[in-house]
Amino acid sequence: MEKKSLGLNYVLSALRIMTSAIVGLLIMSHANKTLGAEIIGKVEYANTIINYFIMFSVLGIPMYGVREIAKQRNNKRKLSQTLVELLSILFVTTLISYIALFTLIYGFNFFSDYKTLILLFSIVILLNNAGADWFFMGMEDQLYITVRFVFVRLIALAILYLCIHTKDDYLIYVFITILYVCGSNVFNFYFLYKNIQFHEISFKTLDFKRHLKPIMTIFVAAISVNIYLQLDSFLISHLAGDKYLGYYAASNKLIRLTTTFISVIGLVLIPRLSTYWESETELYSDTLVKSFNLILIFSVPISLFFFLFSEEIINVMAGDDFYPSVLTMKLLSPICLIAGIVYFLGYLVLFIQKKEKIYTYAVILTAAFSVVVNLYAIKHWQQNGAAVTQILAEIVAILFMLAFIRKQLPKGLFFNKNVFKILASSIIVFLLLLGFKKYFNLEFNFWKFIGESIMFFLSIFVCLLIVKEKYVQEGVSLLMGKLKNK
């Protein structure tokens, strides 16, 4: 297979990020203002329940599949065999997942107050598992992924504004959420079939066992991650009420939306890093350093932005009914940076180096920490208790992983001039704008907020250019060179 351009992959990834951000924000804002905190809380609870079934049914295949497909994409026979083996495992686990879900709902009458919502959301289990996004990521087919991604999200946005006008339209909102999350996977079915060369496969030689140990190792980690990513929503609904879950979702979903952008950047790099680790360790180290700096360039300003403009963001995205979410957003704002470091250590370092067990132990520890602390924190401080617990849990994960792998990381990864330039530029602009806001204390105005936001990010970009931050300079030089050639 022809070697894909890493630069092109980043451009396409950036396009998906921008589309996802714009469409996701518009959907969230319209839904919050139209449906209100309590209905949003109910929808979020049903979505949380289904996410647990998805988690159990996919095992560790999404991350494992990217790595395995990337390794074998030049061998059509092995590629087809691996794809059939993993899809077969997913077929069995998906079937088991649906049987378990229907047994709980109809056999034991669980989730009776959320039955309709959960049944609608259950479509996601099939679309997510059968769509096999991990295959296209492993093949580095970023163009196909981007085209269908953008197309489906624009359709979801159009349906939102055409069909959701009152609180009674909440079921349509569930359909839009399903479409937004995994509707594009429908297109995958045809292309997956086309990529399987059945004449190259002997079904007698299919080896399912070889996949079980690695996917189960990743699966255990995934369970623990989802416990402290999803259990907070589950507990808030039960211990505090759907209204408080609505407040939490308004902040958490918005901030987590930005952290998924980091994972998209990572998924672009995983196939390439997997190849480098096998044969070119120096290139692996250089790419690792670059990826860490890119994560910082993105996550540090975003974390500071959420803290600085939390009131304006909640006002725009949710309205007065969600005012308690302002403090929640301030408390959650460091997640962009912290989750970026967790992703970097867990997937771009440990996963690539086949040290998944360390990551698994880290997330088991943090999941246990999250459960214990949340039971107390949510009872006393509702959604704000869950926010603080989430921050502390992520920090525990970072410290645990660093205790085992700090010597295997490139020297000076965390402490060097370039990292200092990124942090200093972001903090200086943050303090200047914070002082400006405190001194003038102007009333909220949408266009003022837009202007301040543009000023914030543009000022950081200019500062990074002034201090000659390495990767921003490289990007600008590359862009200018291409413009001159035209």
Are 244 and 328 members of one domain? yes
Residue 1 forms part of a structural domain: no
Question: Same domain for 369 and 453?
Answer: no
pLDDT, residue 303, reads 94
Least confident span in 38-42, 148-152, 291-295, 442-446 = 442-446
Q: What angle is formed at CA 298 by the lines to CA 281 and CA 334, rounded to 5 degrees?
A: 110
Domain termination residue (choose one: 373, 390, 414): 414
Residues 461 and 399 in one domain: no
In this structure, are 98 and 154 located in the same domain?
Answer: yes
User: Using only C-alpha atoms, what is the Rg of the chain?
Assistant: 23
CA dist 182 and 180 (Å) reads: 6
pTM: 0.72
Q: State the total domains in the chain.
A: 2
What the block records as the tokens of 396 is 């525990």
Read off the pLDDT band of 227 (50, 70, 90). Answer: low
Whether 373 and 419 map to the same domain: the answer is no
- pLDDT in the model for residue 175: 93
Residue 173 — φ and ψ, nearest 5°?
-60, -40
Do residues 441 and 318 share a domain?
no
- Give which of 37, 113, 11, 101 is closest to 321, Cα–Cα: 37
Statement to judge: residues 452 and 408 lie in one domain: no
Place of tokens 């602009």: 429
Same domain, 404 and 422: no
Q: Are residues 227 and 207 in the same domain?
A: yes
The pLDDT tens digits for 332-343 are 999 999 988 988
Whether the predicted pLDDT of 3 surpasses 60? no
pLDDT band at 267 (very low <50, low <70, confident <90, very high): low
Most confident of the ranges 194-208, 224-238, 293-307 = 293-307
If asked whether residues 116 and 257 sit together in one domain, one would say yes
Domain span at residue 324?
6-414
* 48/192 Cα distance (integer angstroms): 28
C-alpha dihedral sign at 241, 242, 244, 248: positive
pLDDT score for 48:
85
Model pLDDT, residue 332: 94
Give the per-residue pLDDT at 400.
94
For residues 228 and 279, state if they share a domain: yes
User: Which residue blocks in 318-469 are alpha helix, DSSP H?
Assistant: 325-332, 335-343, 356-405, 417-440, 446-466
